[in-house]
Structure 1
Amino acid sequence: MMHQEAMDLRFSSCRGVSFEIKPHKDPFAIDATRKTWLPWDSSKRIVPASGGIITRSTSRASSHFCDLDIDDETDADNILINIEEGYELNYELSVPNPAQQLPKDPSRKIVSRPQTKPKGSRLSVILLDQGMFTVYKRLFMVCLSLNIAMLVLASTSHFSYARNHATLFSIGNLLALTLCRSESFLRVIFWLSVKVFGRSWVPLRLKTAITSLLQSVGGIHSSCGISSVAWLTYSLILTLKDRENTSNAIIGVAITILSLLCLCCLGAFPLVRHLHHNVFEITHRFTGWASLILLWVFIVLTKSYEPETKSYRKDVVSKLVKEQEFWFTIAITILIIIPWVTVRRVAVKVSAPSGHASIIKFVGGVKPGILGRISPSPLSEWHAFGIISDGKEEHMMLAGAVGDFTKSLVSNPPTHLWVRQVCSDPTKSSLTAPTT
């Protein structure tokens, strides 16, 4: 009986069928007009009565790892397959004769029927079902609106500094989006936030708001990416209008950078990112690196070019150190290089207590509650998981088998994985740096 109850609990909370408790004047009362579950019934199936204490919720089926099978692996897999194929599980129940002998280990049968409710498109799920006014999207709109406002003022000659330094604003947005994804920078921001707002006298509402902002800085990252494209387009238009004072090489490099940034933004579009995540990662990484290299070429060319003689100066270093674009690009380069300096290949032990999840163990105790990144190939893909640790000898990650990489951890457990470490000595810890 305890085994059956455990299976029922696991199924109802993790297999895509969720329930919610509704208030009732007497939670112990049984309505005789409704079908109700009783523990001694074994011949029929369970149907939550509509409008009763327990009703079917509107939440969608989840493919996350929350189902560690107890012992009936085959039956559990069949249940999951039905849910993934779009079937709803329906249970019926009738109250048996009390005189009947109670079975010691009741079994239940599952009947699946096609889902009658039409499914929405993947795009509508990604864009709409996640909420129209999330903190992420609010930050995205605020940041984008500020950039649009400054761009309009610059184009109407009401913001002369931005008009004369449009390229600087584009690079500034690139620096801001890099900071939002810099693990070292975010470590400092999170540490300061805890020190300042983690006091007992700070209102809980303010703590919650700060936490929401820190967890949604990706909205600023995305907005700055689009804004950098807009500012660079505006700078290129101004350059083409004054083509006599520039060179074809500068224009060609600028157009190439703009094309790479546009490709990077298209690859990060939600539909592409969710359906082709590996394509997104490769596009994002290599177009970003190529853009950074060409950005250095662009800065050197623009700061060394002399329109009067139509030639390039040789002593460009003395002029570069006086330009803001140079220092912004230096900061971007350092922030991008730092995580790759800490990349290490470490030994791991992978076990699979379920066909739907794996446990990855690393040597070295670390502070629990942080996030780590692992990869089978550092140039192709990285995956982030929460870290559990005893703080002494080892730490581990729990990975749900929901993608190609996480499924391979179950079917073909690796002996080594790539990680991003905090400490440079690989013998001390395999800890990866936290991020959002």
Structure 2
Amino acid sequence: MNKLEKNERFSSCRGVSFEIKDQRRSSCPITVHAQDDFIDNRVWLPRNQNSLKVFPGSSVIIERSLSRPSSHFCDLDLDCQDGNNEECMEEMHDVEKQKPIVLPTKASRNSESRLSIILLDQGLFTVYKQLFVVCFALNLFALILASTGHFAYAKNRATLFSIGNIFTLTLCRSEAVLRVVFWLAVKAFGRPWVPLKIKTAVTAFLQCLGGIHSGCGVASIMWLVYSLVLALKDKENTSHEIIGVAFAILFLVCLSSLAAFPLVRHLHHNVFERTHRFSGWSALFLLWVFILLTITYDPSSKSYRSLICTNLIKHQEFWFTLAINLLIILPWLTVRRVAVTVSAPSGHASIIKFDGGVRAGLLGRISPSPLSEWHAFGIISDGKKDHMMLAGAVGDFTRTLVSNPPSHLWVRQVHFSGLPYLVNMYESVLLVATGSGICVFLSFLLQPCSTDVHLIWVAKGIEQNFGHEIMNMVCGYSKDKVIVHDTAVLGRPNVSNMTVDAAKRWKAEVVIVTSNPEGSRDVVDACKGAKIPAFGPIWDS
């Protein structure tokens, strides 16, 4: 495919029809409902490959809708083709490449940079940024008080404040801790009498805990610099070894933070992941050295006391550092190499199967090399004996799953909670997915759920690219609660308008979307414009 074809955008129609196969050949016929009143009048139009497509309505005009076309939902992210941003690509869940459909409508808008959407176009006052500002501002205020002599405890324990921030940021990323926090949130707020505004506020807070993580990371550097300044001013009571180790820790923490800067994280995700991990581990090791040196150092004799003579448990720095170690080590204790079965319905996606049922809304991480890289995917499970992951072939690792399926993969046995898990908090939810993004929602179709779940799925060549098994999962759900749009047949829809219409018709309390940055942004903005709460990926991982 040449460069021009790769960057072409596709105009589209607005539609709610399904592509289905002839009932004589398919075990999963789907009934299509009219968009406005679910009238069951249909017109069957034969097409090639022994399949049919259905158009709702009693009188049918076969033409494209003149509603504003969507410019992003059904194409691959072309900015990540070098494979360096594979995890970003996996989370985007874009629909596979397709040939452009020429429509007599005005040309769609120029391609926007996906990176600019992630970095700049999510708004200046998002909950994520608000949490970042609050954490940073509180630490800055405390630092100003300490430096001006109005907060003596902080001035004397500047290193402790730096370690405390590291503990907080680690807590916000601990998958085991967050699993418990999300469970408690659903139990506490997932009740009919809890106001919707409180539920959406809790959802926004839990989704954006990364803002606290980032804010505390910057604050820890700030406190460490302040502690070093104080140590340099009091050289007579501080050893050269302590100052040297502190500078090494500062360098590693700064390196880890720079690697997590969005521009690096999204363009070179593997570089970010390895740098963040190994710099953090090295800094943690040096932190233990720093604590032992500072506790055992005797300024009067300018020598180190025996560790046996030092009561470590009386020092708060010891307990905070120990807690950080436990939080970091805990997920690694669950890492196992397990047998998997990998099948590829097409060259565009693979299905990875594991033993053991998993609750709806959870996600998992897998890796071909645990110290090098981890990849997060939604989990599909009926909650009984097994589960699977659907991986679109969009990066080096996911393409290898198709071309050279492995017999074993490394997994973290503790699955973690994310935005999909919070579906359990609401009474009625509309789920919107494009391409392989459907995987994070399919478990809600397969398992009993107290939430009234509705689904919109937009993808290309659904049965051909994703296989009969995935298609049958969707088919097994209530036909009155599903809209499936095959772009290979019907062209690209205006998913934003489709979502707003469906949310109003089904009276959904909230909309949750999984698409690429542009698609997620447009759906969320359209829903909020219609006064419908909506959430999508925030691209901070």
TM-score range, shorter chain: 0.7 to 0.9
Instruction: Find the aligned partners of 1:219 and 1:358 in 2 and give their Cα distance.
Output: 33
**1:391 and 2:391 are equivalent in the alignment:** no
1:178 matched residue in structure 2: 170
Distance 1:435 1:125, change over 3 A: closer
Assess if the C-alpha contact under 8 Å between 1:48 and 1:55 holds in 2.
no
**1:189 and 2:202 are equivalent in the alignment:** no
1:104 matched residue in structure 2: none
User: 1:29-68 alignment to 2 at 5 Å?
Assistant: 52=66, 54-57=67-70, 62-63=75-76, 64-65=92-93, 67=95
Amino acid at match of 1:298: F
User: 1:147-162 alignment to 2 at 5 Å?
Assistant: 147-162=139-154
Shift of 1:204: 1.5
Which of 316, 321, 325 is the matching residue for 1:329? 321
1:303 matched residue in structure 2: 295
User: 1:6-405 alignment to 2 at 5 Å?
Assistant: 52=66, 54-57=67-70, 62-63=75-76, 64-65=92-93, 67=95, 77=97, 79=99, 89-92=101-104, 124-315=116-307, 318-405=310-397
**1:415 and 2:407 are equivalent in the alignment:** yes
Instruction: Find the aligned partners of 1:150 and 1:47 in 2 and give their Cα distance.
Output: 64
Shift of 1:16: 6.2
Instruction: Find the aligned partners of 1:17 and 1:285 in 2 and give their Cα distance.
Output: 42
CA RMSD of superposed structures (Å) = 2.8
Shift of 1:118: 5.6
Distance 1:123 1:386, change over 3 A: closer
Instruction: Find the aligned partners of 2:114 and 2:348 in 1 and give their Cα distance.
Output: 23
Instruction: Find the aligned partners of 2:260 and 2:350 in 1 and give their Cα distance.
Output: 28
Local SS of the residue matching 1:140: helix
1:71 matched residue in structure 2: none
2:31 matched residue in structure 1: none
Instruction: Find the aligned partners of 1:290 and 1:214 in 2 and give their Cα distance.
Output: 29
Q: Which has the larger radius of gyration?
A: 1
Amino acid at match of 1:266: L
Instruction: Find the aligned partners of 1:420 and 1:397 in 2 and give their Cα distance.
Output: 14
Q: In the TM superposition, what whole-angstrom CA distance separates every residue of 1:286-318 from its partner, at most 9, and x where no partner exists?
A: 001000000000000001101100000104564
Distance 1:221 1:129, change over 3 A: same
Structure 2 residue ranges without an equivalent (≥5): 1-8, 16-34, 37-44, 49-61, 77-91, 420-541
2:491 matched residue in structure 1: none
Local SS of the residue matching 1:362: strand
Assess if the C-alpha contact under 8 Å between 1:136 and 1:216 holds in 2.
yes
Distance 1:277 1:331, change over 3 A: same
Distance 1:92 1:289, change over 3 A: same
Local SS of the residue matching 2:365: strand
Q: In the TM superposition, what whole-angstrom CA distance separates every residue of 1:7-55 from its partner, at most 9, and x where no partner exists?
A: xxxxxxxx8656669xxxxx99xxxxxxxxxx8999xxx9967xx4x22
Q: In the TM superposition, what whole-angstrom CA distance separates every residue of 1:168-220 from its partner, at most 9, and x where no partner exists?
A: 01000000011011111112211221221122211111111101111111111
Shift of 1:227: 0.8
Shift of 1:433: 4.1
Distance 1:158 1:20, change over 3 A: farther
Amino acid at match of 1:409: L
Distance 1:326 1:396, change over 3 A: same
Distance 1:249 1:62, change over 3 A: farther
Distance 1:266 1:60, change over 3 A: farther
Distance 1:194 1:121, change over 3 A: closer
Amino acid at match of 2:325: T
Distance 1:372 1:317, change over 3 A: farther
Instruction: Find the aligned partners of 1:267 and 1:18 in 2 and give their Cα distance.
Output: 39
Instruction: Find the aligned partners of 1:239 and 1:302 in 2 and give their Cα distance.
Output: 11
Shift of 1:89: 4.9
Assess if the C-alpha contact under 8 Å between 2:10 and 2:101 holds in 1.
no
Instruction: Find the aligned partners of 1:381 and 1:146 in 2 and give their Cα distance.
Output: 34
Question: What TM-score, normalized by structure 2, do the two folds share?
Answer: 0.61
Amino acid at match of 2:258: L
Structure 1 residue ranges without an equivalent (≥5): 1-14, 22-26, 29-38, 68-75, 80-87, 94-112, 423-431
Instruction: Find the aligned partners of 1:165 and 1:235 in 2 and give their Cα distance.
Output: 8
Amino acid at match of 1:56: P
Assess if the C-alpha contact under 8 Å between 1:372 and 1:384 holds in 2.
yes
Shift of 1:366: 2.4
Assess if the C-alpha contact under 8 Å between 1:126 and 1:271 holds in 2.
no
Instruction: Find the aligned partners of 2:394 and 2:208 in 1 and give their Cα distance.
Output: 23
Distance 1:19 1:158, change over 3 A: farther
Shift of 1:123: 5.0
Amino acid at match of 1:342: T
Greater displacement, 367-376 / 287-296? 367-376
Instruction: Find the aligned partners of 2:10 and 2:149 in 1 and give their Cα distance.
Output: 57
Distance 1:316 1:368, change over 3 A: same
Instruction: Find the aligned partners of 2:211 and 2:226 in 1 and give their Cα distance.
Output: 23
Shift of 1:65: 3.9
Amino acid at match of 1:133: F
Local SS of the residue matching 1:374: strand
2:527 matched residue in structure 1: none
Amino acid at match of 2:122: Q
Amino acid at match of 1:305: Y
Shift of 1:319: 2.6
Amino acid at match of 1:220: I
**How many residues end up aligned between the 2 structures?**
356
Relative contact order, higher structure (CA 8 A, sep 6+): 2
